[in-house]
Chains A and B, each alone.
Chain A
């Protein structure tokens, strides 16, 4: 059976000042119904771009190639009208910055209800009732009062709850959460992650959680994909990835998670060097310049994403860490 979301050979290039800047290079991935997938990578690795492309949200100067299918139907390059049949209802997105992601001059109630008016053909009155009910479900206190408030009257955490509620109104099959906690206070982050997990259990939808923070992704996802310089470098079940990462980059990322147990380290471990800049030659393994295990071959021959044993564990490395 075809997976719920199927991305094949997706590439995104930006034209800027006459230069082609690649952001995503031939990424293929699939998300099954009810599955929870984490996408991890540092800033600029292309993790957000993949899903923005799928949602048709990229800027006009982005050239997208490849194929994206949702529920068996093509959604890439089909035009806004066709895309809107699933976008915002069955396929929804929660954005990084709740401070700027809600329209400032519309009340919370209007911004929630319009989704149902648009997609489910409900009357405004029905839609508002459903919206109020949803605010209650995502644990926004005093939903009645919040309905008539404007975004600036809500805290960041509450706004993100509103964003999550908005994404769930039409009982989506897949929610893409793009760094949903990055802009929030640490104490609020845990609540939001918790809420996403609870809602997923209650509604049974699939979830893609994009984050640069492996710690955030860890508890919430079944499977994790690691991206580096526009490509997937490793993919494995969440537990397996944490126990035995095969790609040196993943291993370095895991070392960067501060631990509460064990001996206290003098310094936070960090990754040395810089990710490749746009326009750098795209030869061999993009991680080679920062990799302790790199050999001459790594700089000339690109390692393909191959099975690495274990349950669907795949890695793109000539010299993976031993399992």
Chain B
């Protein structure tokens, strides 16, 4: 298949192109975080000057910033994210390695549910265009977009945890789906609502197109018309929204993980930045940017699959 080969070549080319992008992000983040006032060892009580000097020396902060940058990038090229400045005896790799699976599980379940339910609700609303079902679905979608997760999650915890005793309010146990349900709902709701609205609008447009008229005139059952002929073109706007959706879920997980007390990496982003934990913030920036770059790439490939007129060679 020519097209598969073209897709693979495109993927590899773009992946190679992502390296300089990532390098620029690393450089910018490195100097920006150091430009922020204060440092990792500033506390309410000022440390004695000698102690401070020793700490600075131990972590290499006494050296000129360009030398620090050189050391950091050198270590990074060997896959070493460096030691955390605030979590003593922990390397950034260990911290992220512990928290990432939790965040990844939470985020991917939230994204998958937002996609599946959003698409289904969007199709349903389009088929019930301007009828009660359509209005109900779209009103719910407005609620989903408008109410932030830090309101939704405590509310759900109160309702299902404290009043009904169905689900735990917060906390985490490995391999426990029950602990994930409420955070996933809170995290998935905003992107789910956006996806439902996108699918409804694009499905309505696709259903008015000439090729859908042809498909109906061919005497195909409605199910085939929708799933085989209308769904793929109707998903194009969803593909464009995928990268922002991942970003929204990632930032949402910062809040949701703190409220639900989940041991993910979301808290490191906020705490790391507030603590001026330089290496931890850098590690988080690299993980998040790499994820977003890969998402962007997958979206391009998804486009090519959704619409064969999209050309990947150039």
Q: A residues touching B (Cβ–Cβ < 8 Å)?
A: 55-57, 60, 80-81, 83-89, 92-93, 95, 97, 100-106, 114-115, 118-119, 150, 152, 163, 166
Q: A114-B224, A114-B228, A150-B308 are in contact. Are A101 and B214 (CB under 8 A)?
A: yes
> A87 near B217 (CB under 8 angstroms)?
yes
Q: Residue B20 at the A interface, CB < 8 A?
A: no
Q: A104-B211, A105-B233, A114-B228 are in contact. Are A166 and B216 (CB under 8 A)?
A: no
B307 to chain A: closest residue by CB = A105
Q: Residue B175 at the A interface, CB < 8 A?
A: no
Classify the interface of chain A: helix, strand, loop or mixed.
loop
Per the bound structure, the CA–CA distance linking A83 and B210 in Å amounts to 19
> A84 near B232 (CB under 8 angstroms)?
no
Chain A contacts of B64 at CB under 8 A? none
- For A88, give its contact among B209, B219, B222 (CB under 8 Å): B219
- For B308, give its contact among A88, A100, A115, A152 (CB under 8 Å): A152
Interface residue ranges of B202-216 to A (CB < 8 Å): 209-211, 213-216
Chain A contacts of B220 at CB under 8 A? 84, 88, 114, 118
Per the bound structure, the CA–CA distance linking A101 and B306 in Å amounts to 18
A91 to chain B: closest residue by CB = B219
Q: Residue B229 at the A interface, CB < 8 A?
A: yes
- For B211, give its contact among A80, A84, A100 (CB under 8 Å): A100
State how many angstroms separate the Cβ of A150 from the closest Cβ of chain B. 5
B212 to chain A: closest residue by CB = A103
Chain A contacts of B228 at CB under 8 A? 103, 106, 114
Chain B contacts of A81 at CB under 8 A? 221
Chain A contacts of B210 at CB under 8 A? 95, 97, 100-101
> B209 near A105 (CB under 8 angstroms)?
no
- For B209, B219, B309, which residue has the most chain A Cβ atoms within 10 angstroms? B219
Q: Residue B78 at the A interface, CB < 8 A?
A: no
Per the bound structure, the CA–CA distance linking A55 and B219 in Å amounts to 9
Per the bound structure, the CA–CA distance linking A150 and B2 in Å amounts to 14
Q: Residue B88 at the A interface, CB < 8 A?
A: no
Per-residue A-contact encoding for B297-314, CB less than 8 Å = 1, 0 else? 000000000111100000
State how many angstroms separate the Cβ of A114 from the closest Cβ of chain B. 7
Count how many pairs of residues, one from A and one from B, have CB atoms less than 8 Å apart in the complex.
76
- For B211, B218, B309, which residue has the most chain A Cβ atoms within 10 angstroms? B218
- For B218, give its contact among A80, A88, A97, A104 (CB under 8 Å): A88
State how many angstroms separate the Cβ of B207 from the closest Cβ of chain A. 10
Known: A57-B216, A103-B215. 15 other contacts (CB 8 A): A57-B213, A80-B216, A80-B222, A81-B221, A84-B219, A100-B210, A102-B211, A103-B211, A103-B214, A104-B307, A104-B308, A105-B306, A106-B228, A106-B229, A114-B228
Chain B contacts of A150 at CB under 8 A? 308-309
B208 to chain A: closest residue by CB = A59
> A115 near B218 (CB under 8 angstroms)?
yes
Per the bound structure, the CA–CA distance linking A86 and B218 in Å amounts to 9
Per-residue A-contact encoding for B224-242, CB less than 8 Å = 1, 0 else? 1000110011000000000
Chain A contacts of B129 at CB under 8 A? 60
Per the bound structure, the CA–CA distance linking A181 and B221 in Å amounts to 29
Per-residue A-contact encoding for B1-18, CB less than 8 Å = 1, 0 else? 000000000000000000
Chain B contacts of A104 at CB under 8 A? 211, 233, 307-309
State how many angstroms separate the Cβ of B276 from the closest Cβ of chain A. 51
> B308 near A118 (CB under 8 angstroms)?
no
Per the bound structure, the CA–CA distance linking A114 and B213 in Å amounts to 15
Chain B contacts of A89 at CB under 8 A? 219
Chain B contacts of A114 at CB under 8 A? 218, 220, 224, 228
> A118 near B221 (CB under 8 angstroms)?
yes
The 9 listed contacts between A and B (C-beta, < 8 Å) are A57-B213, A102-B214, A104-B307, A106-B228, A106-B229, A114-B220, A114-B224, A118-B220, A152-B309
A96 to chain B: closest residue by CB = B210
Per the bound structure, the CA–CA distance linking A80 and B215 in Å amounts to 13
A90 to chain B: closest residue by CB = B219
B219 to chain A: closest residue by CB = A88
Chain B contacts of A102 at CB under 8 A? 211, 214
B211 to chain A: closest residue by CB = A103
Chain B contacts of A100 at CB under 8 A? 209-211
Per the bound structure, the CA–CA distance linking A102 and B307 in Å amounts to 13
Chain B contacts of A83 at CB under 8 A? 219
> B213 near A103 (CB under 8 angstroms)?
no
Per the bound structure, the CA–CA distance linking A81 and B220 in Å amounts to 9
Per the bound structure, the CA–CA distance linking A97 and B211 in Å amounts to 10
A112 to chain B: closest residue by CB = B218
Per the bound structure, the CA–CA distance linking A92 and B214 in Å amounts to 10
> A119 near B224 (CB under 8 angstroms)?
no
> B211 near A88 (CB under 8 angstroms)?
no
Per the bound structure, the CA–CA distance linking A58 and B197 in Å amounts to 25
Chain A contacts of B222 at CB under 8 A? 80
A105 to chain B: closest residue by CB = B232
State how many angstroms separate the Cβ of A234 from the closest Cβ of chain B. 29
Per-residue A-contact encoding for B124-168, CB less than 8 Å = 1, 0 else? 000001000000000000000000000000000000000000000
